Amino acid sequence: MITPEQANKLAEYDSVVSVFESKISKLHTTHSWDFLRLNPVYDENHVALDFTSNVIVGVIDSGVWPESESFNDYGLGPVPEKFKGECVTGDNFTLANCNKKIIGARFYPKGFEAEFGPLEDFNKIFFRSARDNDGHGTHIASTIAGRSVANVSLFGMAKGIARGGAPSARLAIYKTCWFGFCSDADILSAVDDAIHDGVDILSLSLGTEPPQPIYFEDAISVGAFHAFQNGILVSASAGNSVLPRTACNVAPWILTVAASTVDREFSSNIHLGNSKILKGYSLNPIKMEHFHGLIYGSAAAASGVPATNASFCKNNTLDPTLINGKIVICTIESFSDNRREKAITVRQGGGVGMILIDHNAKEIGFQFVIPSTLIGQDSVEKLQAYIKADRNPIAKIYPTTTVVGTKPAPEAAAFSSMGPNVVTPDIIKARPGVNILAAWSPVATEATVEHRSVDYNIISGTSMSCPHISAVAAIIKSYHPTWTPAAIMSAIMTTAIVLDNTNHLIGRDPNGTQTTPFDYGSGHVNPLASLNPGLVYDFSSQDVLDFLCSNGASPSQLKNITGELTQCQKTPTPSYNFNYPSIGVSNLNGSLSIYRTVTFYGQEPAVYVASVENPFGVNVTVTPVALKFWKTGEKLTFRVDFNPFVNSNGNFVFGALTWKNGKQRVRSPIGVNVVSL
């Protein structure tokens, strides 16, 4: 803990690598693997994943609940010899809590306590150890590498087999987050240890509040670069900030993950007094036995409270005498509203149920303390018409039913942060994360119905998307142990799909509104295809430094990233020629040629032919139009020429380049901002 003046003085010493402020990051709060076509039992449409894996995934989060059946080590071989980590003991966490599944566990409270004071001062349940009191870290770890556990559900919802994407992978746990907050100092310490310990993949479902800091002063970007240098892929969530230009963890050496839906809904419908059924959504296991009167929150304002304020159903805004025994209809003030607290307010006033008008988040499964459900525009209009026509409107809220096979899916999640990349806009980033059932900490009761202890829970967020991608990366690493982080990243990105299960372009939840790569990145992950992508776009640490130099990085800034004094070349490679699996030009001034190099991975010679989707107002040509490869590991370079004929007026326009060989499709999104012709 030092002053800014002391920090500046300290930075002048040659022996000091870098000095930047430690900020606070936040956590980005089953059937999904079936939807992604990953199944532990092989059939003609699924890939077998029951092989033994020595891939080690490091999870930087809120810890783990090691007793969960998802972390049993039945049938796993010995701990890989390459692992140099430790099982650090602490509160309610002994050496026996590690096994052949959880092979390492560490915890980091120092940065958090320096910022906020002792953990004991919070008057909340916590463990000064790697044990998870939050539930988030347990959920993430089991989504990545949980073993198959039969007959799992949340109060009967989403019942089935819970499993991780890479059930044979090993887990190393790094607890840096306390009560939902994570100190940069602790995160960087954990990354340092994970590199030393020998993990293969690092998964971070956390990040800063927007806007994204510059890479040289961002702990996750700095730590991830060192991991990248050591052959470790870092997968990190993009955030849940809804709006354009809010994506975080966007450094090109990080695989950034946004959120999308799967083909499953949790319906909690409303039975009106006129016998009509309205579509509603929530995680509601509570059965409402009888019909109850309906009342708008705005019509039940407490004394002195404006009707508009009461409509949001926040604390101390409702009159208990008016809502007692009734179902209260509430509205959303902003996307960040605490929806659970609205139901608590209704219950405190004697209300027996809540209907929440929430057009944007209606398909996100929230849990409430009383029967409650979220409705969108179609149901709102029918509800309003009924209340207007009936002098004594009544309704009943049904418990949740699980519906599988819904269409369209996937969709970009309404809450998911969006591009463009505000730090280096030439980089277009790489998504399921809505209503995911996975293991939970039984002491983390705040997020569950009536604060009941559960062993498995359903939550949503880019936090939930990130472990899906981390698991896919672990599977690829198992199949291709010598591949670099960039090659694995390329395989995931270039094989992603951009069409939903109705064969239309992926839309944005909740209404299927039009999307661009700033919503869905490279697309929705296709794990099976990513195991055999055909071509990969590889890049090295030096390529990253050249990219940073082309964006104006100074030697001192590069030192913050690398740890040593680094000079840029006199003529750095233009950032648009960085060998990334997407193609972005943030300022296209007239015609431009860019270059990419692909590496071939195949069993026999192959020819790939280029197919281009032109961005509006831009002609794109590829030279050569065909690439012929003779042996695996062969590299070929091609040129992409952009010839704009319409100014895009400060907006990006999008297209794609796809290499095809009759079996495989290697797709790169294209985004250009035409500033002059």
382 plus 285 within the same structural domain: yes
Q: Is the pLDDT of residue 271 over 70?
A: yes
Q: Which of 370, 403, 436 is the last residue of a domain?
A: 403
Look at residue 501 and tell me if it is in a domain.
no
Look at residue 614 and tell me if it is in a domain.
yes
Name which residue leads in pLDDT, 366 or 198. 198
Nearest to 293 by CA among 374, 353, 347: 353
Q: What percentage of the chain carries pLDDT values higher than 90?
A: 56
Residue 508 has a pLDDT of 64
355 plus 448 within the same structural domain: no
Look at residue 446 and tell me if it is in a domain.
yes
Residue 415 has a pLDDT of 47
65 plus 214 within the same structural domain: yes
The counts of H helices and E strands in the chain are 16, 32
Task: Answer whether the bond into residue 420 is a cis peptide, omega within 30°.
Answer: yes
Residue 39 has a pLDDT of 54
Could you give the number of structural domains in the chain?
3
Name which residue leads in pLDDT, 10 or 465. 10
Residue 49 has a pLDDT of 47
Residue 158 has a pLDDT of 55
425 plus 351 within the same structural domain: no
441 plus 588 within the same structural domain: no
Q: Which of 403, 422, 439 is the last residue of a domain?
A: 403
The whole-number average pLDDT for the span 177-200 is 96
pLDDT confidence of 52, banded at 50, 70, 90?
Answer: very low
Look at residue 582 and tell me if it is in a domain.
yes
326 plus 384 within the same structural domain: yes
Q: Lowest mean pLDDT: which of 249-253, 534-538, 652-656?
A: 249-253
312 plus 385 within the same structural domain: yes
Q: What is the distance between the alpha carbons of residues 674 and 671, in angstroms, rounded to a whole number?
A: 10
Q: Is the pLDDT of residue 643 over 80?
A: yes
145 plus 238 within the same structural domain: yes
Q: What is the CATH number of the domain that holds 622?
A: 2.60.40.2310
- Find the catalytic residue in 235, 237, 260, 463: 463
The whole-number average pLDDT for the span 37-48 is 44
142 plus 207 within the same structural domain: yes
Q: What is the CATH number of the domain that holds 183?
A: 3.40.50.200
Three-state DSSP class for residue 374: strand
What is the helix, strand, coil percentage profile of the chain, to 5? 25, 25, 50
The whole-number average pLDDT for the span 172-186 is 95
Q: Lowest mean pLDDT: which of 61-65, 185-189, 242-246, 496-500?
A: 242-246
- Find the catalytic residue in 25, 61, 241, 426: 61
Look at residue 33 and tell me if it is in a domain.
no
- Find the catalytic residue in 28, 31, 136, 524: 136
The whole-number average pLDDT for the span 643-660 is 92
The whole-number average pLDDT for the span 356-361 is 80
Look at residue 517 and tell me if it is in a domain.
no
Q: What is the distance between the alpha carbons of residues 532 and 166, in angstroms, rounded to a whole number?
A: 17
Q: What is the distance between the alpha carbons of residues 316 and 270, in angstroms, rounded to a whole number?
A: 27
Name which residue leads in pLDDT, 165 or 298. 298
The whole-number average pLDDT for the span 128-140 is 92
Q: What is the distance between the alpha carbons of residues 315 and 479, in angstroms, rounded to a whole number?
A: 54
Q: Is the pLDDT of residue 121 over 60?
A: yes
Q: Is the pLDDT of residue 37 over 80?
A: no
Q: Give the pLDDT confidence of 315-346 residue by residue, as tens digits.
A: 999 999 999 999 999 999 887 788 889 999 99
82 plus 208 within the same structural domain: yes
Tell how strand 255-257 and strand 233-237 pair up. parallel
Q: Is the pLDDT of residue 418 over 90?
A: no
169 plus 186 within the same structural domain: yes
Q: What percentage of the chain carries pLDDT values higher than 70?
A: 81
Residue 262 has a pLDDT of 59
H-state helical runs in 14-64: 31-35
Q: Calculate the average pLDDT of the chain.
A: 85
Residue 601 has a pLDDT of 96
Residue 207 has a pLDDT of 76
Domain that holds residue 463: 49-263+413-485
480 is catalytic: no
Most confident option among 250-254, 366-370, 507-511, 638-642: 638-642
H-state helical runs in 94-135: 110-116
Look at residue 516 and tell me if it is in a domain.
no
Q: Is the pLDDT of residue 467 over 90?
A: no
Look at residue 556 and tell me if it is in a domain.
yes
Q: What is the CATH number of the domain that holds 327?
A: 3.50.30.30
368 plus 428 within the same structural domain: no
Tell how strand 277-278 and strand 264-267 pair up. unpaired
498 backbone φψ class: left, alpha, beta (φ>0; ψ -120 to 50): alpha
Q: Lowest mean pLDDT: which of 66-75, 205-214, 594-603?
A: 205-214
